[in-house]
Homo-oligomer: A and B are copies of this chain.
Amino acid sequence: MSNTFGKLFRVTVYGESHGASVGCVIDGCPSGLKIKKEDIQKELDRRKPGQSAVTTERKEEDKVKILSGIFEDKTLGTPISLLIWNKDADSSKYLKIIETPRPGHGDFVWRKKFGHADWRGGGRSSARETAARVAAGAVAKKLLKNSGIEIIAYSISIGNVEVDEIDRQKLMNKIANININKNFDMSDWKSTIESNPVRCISKRKAKLMENEILDAKNNGDSVGGVIEVVAAGIPAGLGEPIFAKLSSDIAAALMSIPAVKGIEIGAGFELAKMRGSESNDEFIIAEGIVKTKTNNCGGILGGISNGMPIIARIAVKPTASIARKQKTVNIKTMKAAEIEIEGRHDPCIVPRAVPVVEAMIAIVLADHGIISGLIRRQG
Docked-complex contact B263 and A256, CB < 8 angstroms: no
- Contact partner of A379 among B76, B318, B373, CB < 8 A? B373
Closest chain B residue to A226 by CB distance?
A: B272
Interface string of A267-296 (1 = CB under 8 A from B): 111111111111111111100101010001
Docked-complex contact B378 and A115, CB < 8 angstroms: yes
Interface string of A245-278 (1 = CB under 8 A from B): 1011111111110101111111111111111111
Docked-complex contact B75 and A105, CB < 8 angstroms: no
- Contact partner of A21 among B67, B110, B267, B271, CB < 8 A? B67
Q: How far is the CB of A131 from chain B (nearest CB, A)?
A: 13
Stretch from A25-33, A167-175, A196-204 that touches the partner: A25-33
Copies of this chain in the oligomer:
4
Docked-complex contact B327 and A279, CB < 8 angstroms: no
- Contact partner of A271 among B264, B273, B277, B317, CB < 8 A? B317
Docked-complex contact B243 and A4, CB < 8 angstroms: yes
A275-B223, A317-B272, A373-B377 given as contacts; is B302 within 8 A of A103 (CB)?
A: no
Q: Note all chain B residues with C-beta closer than 8 A to A248.
A: 251-253, 255-256
Q: How far is the CB of A356 from chain B (nearest CB, A)?
A: 12
Please, how many residues of chain A have a CB less than 8 angstroms from a CB on the other chain?
Answer: 155
Asked if A51 is at the interface of the complex by the 8 Å CB criterion, the answer is no
Docked-complex contact A322 and B277, CB < 8 angstroms: yes
Q: Which residues of A, 133-156, contact B by the 8 Å Cβ criterion?
A: none
Q: Note all chain B residues with C-beta closer than 8 A to A21.
A: 67-68, 81
Q: How far is the CB of A90 from chain B (nearest CB, A)?
A: 17
Interface string of A176-211 (1 = CB under 8 A from B): 000000000000000000000000000000000000
- Contact partner of A301 among B3, B106, B247, CB < 8 A? B106
Docked-complex contact B15 and A277, CB < 8 angstroms: no
Q: Which residues of A, 353-379, contact B by the 8 Å Cβ criterion?
A: 369, 371-374, 376-379
Q: Jot down 7 A-B pairs with beta carbons below 8 A, ordered by A.
A: A2-B242, A3-B27, A4-B4, A20-B65, A71-B118, A113-B372, A262-B269
**Known A3-B243, A76-B118, A109-B304; further 15 A-B contacts with Cβ < 8 A:** A1-B240, A2-B243, A5-B243, A14-B78, A20-B66, A71-B117, A104-B296, A124-B241, A159-B273, A224-B273, A255-B263, A274-B317, A275-B318, A280-B322, A373-B376
